[in-house]
Amino acid sequence: MGFGQDLRNSHEGLIKLQDWELKLLETVKRFMTLRVKSDKEYASLLLNICQQVDKHDNSSQIHYISTISKSWAHMVQQTEQLSKIMKSHAEELNSGPLHRLTMMIKDKQQVKRSYQSIHQQIEFELNKVTKTDLEKMKGTYRQLSKDAHSAREKYKEAVVKGKPEKARERYDKATMKLHNLHNQYVLAVRSAQLHQEHYHESALPLLLDSLQKMQEEMISTLKGILEEYSEITSLLTDEIVKVHKEIHTSIDQIDPVSEYDNFIEMYGSPGTKEPNVEFDVSLLEETENLQANEILWNNLTADSLQILSLCSCTLKILGTNAQYPLSAKACLYLSFSTVLLLSQKQSLEELRQTVQLLRCSQAKLSCQKELLEHKMKENEGKEPPPVVNYEEDARSVNSVVRFYRISKFDTLRHSIAGIIRSPKSFFDVIPTSEKPLGEQEWYHGAIPRTEAQELLKQQGDFLVRESHGKPGEYVLSVFSDGQRRHFIIQFADNQYRFEGTGFPTIPQLIEHHYTTKQVITKKSGVVLLNPVIKDKKWILNHEDVILGELLGKGNFGEVFKGTLKDKTPVAVKTCKEDLPQDLKIKFLSEARILKQYDHPNIVKLIGVCTQRQPIYIVMELVPGGDFLSFLRKKKEDLKPKQLVKFALDAAAGMAYLELKNCIHRDLAARNCLVGENNLLKISDFGMSRQEDDGIYSSSGLKQIPIKWTAPEALNYGRYSSESDVWSYGILLWETFSLGVCPYPGMTNQQAREQVEKGYRMSCPQKCPDEVYKIMQRCWDYKPENRPKFAEIYRELSLVKKK
């Protein structure tokens, strides 16, 4: 196999092959150029970060030998070495493979030009010898043959007349010319035969074989270039492997156990014995009957000792109850070695410290308990001795003391019993201001400013929301003195405030102003009176929604398949965080509209997630996808009766919207969904408006679907249910044409101009005449002459029954 043997008639293919190879080489060149650039930038960045590390190195401040600092310094040093290697490789790649590739491209272009030139030359010679020259000679041959034949006839006539001399001379001359040309033609034919044979057997194969040889040489050269590229850019070269081995070795030298030995030697301090805590006997110099380290038991201290003894018993009970959680903590501590996360290890260490403190407290209380028990056992069943003997009033005093002792003891007993019976009562009531911001009923999340203003209706109404324009910033919206005011909640020094006292959290700040009725700012004089409670029916937390696969991209962001906590499948529309404020408002307007509707042919809203960015609109998941794609995929299986059913579903949904004074403005097959049992649902209310009079005026033609929009909406920005009827007519045409784009072959501008001239699309192939008549009525130029959706629904119901 070879070019000369198998590609003699494939000149065009060879030209395409060379063009393709040149494009490929240009692509390889661009790739290598970018690789050189990126490697140089990478090397420069590595060097830069190493230099930055050196600038901020403060290891000299701690004068001890650290394995970490040594390993880290070695890592930085090796990283710097890596940057030098990468830079060297980039320069080598630029001067080596990239330069050779550039020269090869030039050679390749020259080979192509040379091949085309030689091929054109031998083709021209072949055509000249075998066609052009022979055709000229054949033309002359025919003319001389005619001349010789004419001279012969004249000669015969002259012989009859008896004057043949001149005629014979002419006849001989004509015959001579013919015979000479005949000989020339014979030679030319033979020459052409030889030239043709030489062309096919020698010249062309030689050219093609030469081209093949050059092609193969260049492939070999390219292979060498790519091999060199691979070697230079490989991350497994000895130099780079050595760098990473050095880094790995330096890391292995870090020993957590011995890391601080040198530090301890340098900064260690000798242990000093703390003085023992002893009873200060000097305190007893001016007292009587008091002894050091002895509990005093008499009629004045007996009650308090009894109470302390009871408390120690209670402590014992609580200590027994606490054995299980302490045991649990002990088990947790035993599993210390299995915990991998540092934060959890830190928590365990903190628990160890807490346990140690508790053990200290336990030891102190146990010691005190032993002293008390010892003293109580010594005097069990005895009356406490009086400090001073008041004989004349002994009876009354003792009775009073006993009554006081019993009543106080009972009070304490009941109190302790109550604590033991209801150990959680302390935590039963949590102040509202201690709840997180997202759980506050007056916090509405990232709702638009306009929606917040609509919720504020009476004096003192207030709510808190997240700013749309500046995510992470919070705003207090209040209705005061007939105006809707908006106050940015300032955050500085870890405190939230308006202009006065700061608080650690927003709920505490709002609670303070709400309960004290303190003005928000002195200048405004605004007071918070009535919190506006959010509508919890539609509010979802972001944590309630688990995002799944990407379904597509909408005007405002991406659309995902999702799942609620109860495993309900949903569709989740997300709003890009960097969208302008007006677009975010438009995004949420769809949810505001859908909140009001409940119809089988309208896609159902599940809820919205506005507590933080990004905002979600959660809707029912309609498994069949958009109607336009459905029509195009299933066009072979769809019968006219099923298409009428789709049209009927759309009419039912639009009739419902018409009753609600809702103008969809973007009704099209792409904005309808196909659910279970082929139930059609109207969707995508991003452009929709709800007006009291059913008429909406708009200015501008930004993002308007021209081929679906009624003339009065395009010309004057006047939208109504009648303009939706026009769009419904286009939807009917899409349905029965099985997903063909309206006004086929026309641009938007051409379609608009043709409609103004009276043009209307023809009846689709599968469309019943009755349905096409409905289409034509929907496309009446005058809005008032178009049918209502309820009327369309009735007429289609009759068509379906046929």
412 marked among binding-site residues: no
Partner residues linked to 545 by β-bridges = 564
User: What does DSSP say about strands 605-609 and 569-574: parallel, antiparallel, or unpaired?
Assistant: unpaired
CA 689 to CA 596: how far, in whole Å?
Answer: 13
Among 690, 684, 735, 464, which residue's Cα sits nearest to residue 555? 684
**Which residues, 6 or more positions from 251, have their beta carbon under 8 angstroms from its beta carbon?**
71, 75
Among 664, 644, 666, which residue's Cα sits nearest to residue 656? 664
555 marked among binding-site residues: yes
**Which residues, 6 or more positions from 115, have their beta carbon under 8 angstroms from its beta carbon?**
14, 18, 207, 211
Kindly report the length of the chain. 802
User: At 367, which amino acid appears?
Assistant: C
96 marked among binding-site residues: no
Give, for 483, the enclosing helix (H) or strand (E).
strand 483-488
573 marked among binding-site residues: yes
Q: ω before 325 within 30° of 0 (cis)?
A: no
What's the DSSP call for residue 602? B
User: At 366, which amino acid appears?
Assistant: S
460 marked among binding-site residues: no
Q: Where are the alpha helices (DSSP H) in 379-463?
A: 394-421, 449-455
604 marked among binding-site residues: no
What's the DSSP call for residue 50? H
CA 20 to CA 59: how far, in whole Å?
Answer: 59
Active-site annotation holder among 626, 649, 666, 684? 666
**Neighbouring C-beta atoms of residue 759, cutoff 10 Å:** 14
694 marked among binding-site residues: no
Cα separations (Å) of 577 from 319, 574, 614, 616? 54, 9, 6, 11
Cα separations (Å) of 762 from 529, 734, 745, 779? 64, 12, 14, 12
94 marked among binding-site residues: no
Q: Look up tokens 């919190």; give the residue.
A: 531
Residue 175 in tokens: 């015959």
Among 638, 626, 651, which residue's Cα sits nearest to residue 799? 651
Give, for 194, the enclosing helix (H) or strand (E).
helix 165-198
CB 181 within 8 A of CB 143: no
Residue 710 in tokens: 């009624």
- Residue 482: strand, helix, or coil: coil
Q: Look up tokens 């590609």; give the residue.
A: 7
692 an active-site residue? no
Partner residues linked to 608 by β-bridges = 539, 617
CB 634 within 8 A of CB 596: no
Spacing of C-alpha 71 from chain mean position: 39
CA 402 to CA 27: how far, in whole Å?
Answer: 105
Give the count of alpha carbons within 13 A of 776, CB side only: 12
CA 592 to CA 455: how far, in whole Å?
Answer: 13
Q: Which residues are catalytic, by number?
A: 666
Binding residues for ATP: 551-559, 573
Binding residues: 551-559, 573
